[in-house]
Amino acid sequence: MTIKLYNTMTRRMEEFVPLREYEVGFYVCGPTVYDYFHIGNARVFIVFDVIRRYLEYRGYEVNYVQNFTDIEDKMINRAREMGITVEELAEKYIEAYLEDADALGIRRADVHPRATEHIPEIIKIIQKLMEKGLAYEVEGDVYFDTASFPEYGRLSYQDTGELESGSRVEVDERKKNPMDFALWKKAKEGEPSWDSPWGRGRPGWHIECSAMAMKYLGETLDIHAGGPDLTFPHHENEIAQSEGATGKRFVRYWMHVGYLNIDKQKMSKSLGNILTVREIHKKIDPQVVRFFMLSAHYRSPINFNFELLDQAKSGLERLNTLIYALLDLKEKAQEKPLEDKDRDIMEKVEKYRNKFEESMDDDFNTADALAALFELARETNIYLKDGMHNLQVIEKILNTYRELGDILGLFTNLEKEELDTEIEELIQKRQEARKAKDFATADSIRDQLLERGIILEDTPQGVRWKRKS
């Protein structure tokens, strides 16, 4: 009954045991807010949103923190290009992030800290590193001294010696070691800057996450997560800074998502194939995007294109159709004693709920968990085939889909809605025409409704409608 997850640090599956029994400190590296976020970011945010929800379902109190990087080279450059301040740029894209994330059903974090609001905390850590001799200053820049932190490279299994030879980066001669990274950067003309013991400047990228994570979650986090390319150097550097400063273990479990490629190609600026979720939402229901992301294991690399999204859409529709049917039948079902077939399906509901949980317990295998929902769908459809249904059963099935769907962030927007009276009348008219065997009229009304986005289904329990998606 315990959750197992893959820890990047140990490269093993491990039982999840948080530091405090029922609480989980969970930090996810958030976006640098210099543009709309892309579909690869979306995968990361969706995956960890689901993991967060599952941990809550499992009874943990999750403290979920996701930062906004609002000061960084990319921010500065972009702001300059757009002719606005870095602050204005951040405001614009933080707002855009929240809109796009909301649309994808990504719940807001408990805290969304911003780097620029944590400068004192950042400086404090750097000071501590200086005191301990783990950092050094050169002309207003402060670097972390990787040579004095023997653990460096443990997360990414990199040998520092080998890294040097493979590095194609121009070596900054002022650094003691090519691997050393900036904790504090001296301000250049026209850049946002803050006062510090080393003069005016701004924080390096890595230090902000350490500062914010520890501020909100304490010196040891349970889970620290992010995109695949953050493992090195970002997370490696975070460990060095944090553990260097506190002398304590920084993170118990490191989690990283697999890559998302577009048409089997890496998404990159140079290829010009970066797809923002904002762009995708113009064509595709965000729920479909979500379903698509969850249909593969989070650590597998996945390929993205619109054809695959279409496949996902059809699959999701199958489940959605069932839920529409259940909502409709709930109104028609009766309160009555349970019969054998009722008990039978209720047992199956439990069986598939268990299967769902087992899959999720096993390193959050959402693809497998979805299979349980599909299998339950088939059983349910068989149950629904004939007769008048038992209200208790319909409610149990519906609640199960709601509850498990809520973990995945699916089926959340499916509600029984009232139709326009005009459409109601059309449906009524068609029913009369059918009764009178005037099928020409009936079919023409059906076509008419289809054009208005209403799909009709004639079932033994009467006519049912759903919206075309």
Partner RNA sequence: GGCGACAUAGCCAAGUGGUAAGGCAGAGGACUGCAAAUCCUUUAUUCCCCGGUUCGAAUCCGGGUGUCGCCUCCA
Whole-number Å distance between alpha carbons of 398 and 421: 27
CB of 271 to RNA, least distance (A): 9
3-state secondary structure of 454: strand
Q: Smaller CB distance to RNA: residue 158 or 220?
A: 158
H-run or E-run covering 210: helix 205-217
Q: Which residues pair with 334 in a beta bridge?
A: 390
Whole-number Å distance between alpha carbons of 338 and 346: 10
CB of 403 to RNA, least distance (A): 19
3-state secondary structure of 423: helix
CB of 30 to RNA, least distance (A): 8
Peptide bond into 233 cis (omega under 30): yes
Q: Smaller CB distance to RNA: residue 59 or 435?
A: 435
CB of 22 to RNA, least distance (A): 27
Rg (the chain; Cα; Å): 27
Residue 183 is classified by DSSP as: E
Q: HEC string of 268-336?
A: CCCCCCCCEHHHHCCCCCHHHHHHHHHCCCCCCCEEECHHHHHHHHHHHHHHHHHHHHHHHHHHHCECC
CB of 402 to RNA, least distance (A): 19
Residue 233 is classified by DSSP as: I
Q: Smaller CB distance to RNA: residue 219 or 341?
A: 341
CB of 65 to RNA, least distance (A): 16
Q: Smaller CB distance to RNA: residue 220 or 261?
A: 261
CB atoms within 10 A of CB 79: 20
Tokens 């870095």, located at residue: 86
Please state at what angle helix 286-294 crosses helix 306-332, rounded to 10 degrees.
100
What type of residue sits at position 171?
V
Q: Smaller CB distance to RNA: residue 311 or 334?
A: 311
CB distance 460 to 386 below 8 Å: yes
Q: Smaller CB distance to RNA: residue 22 or 157?
A: 157
Q: Smaller CB distance to RNA: residue 318 or 416?
A: 318
Q: Smaller CB distance to RNA: residue 321 or 392?
A: 321
CB of 314 to RNA, least distance (A): 3
Q: Which residues pair with 26 in a beta bridge?
A: 64, 223
CB of 447 to RNA, least distance (A): 10
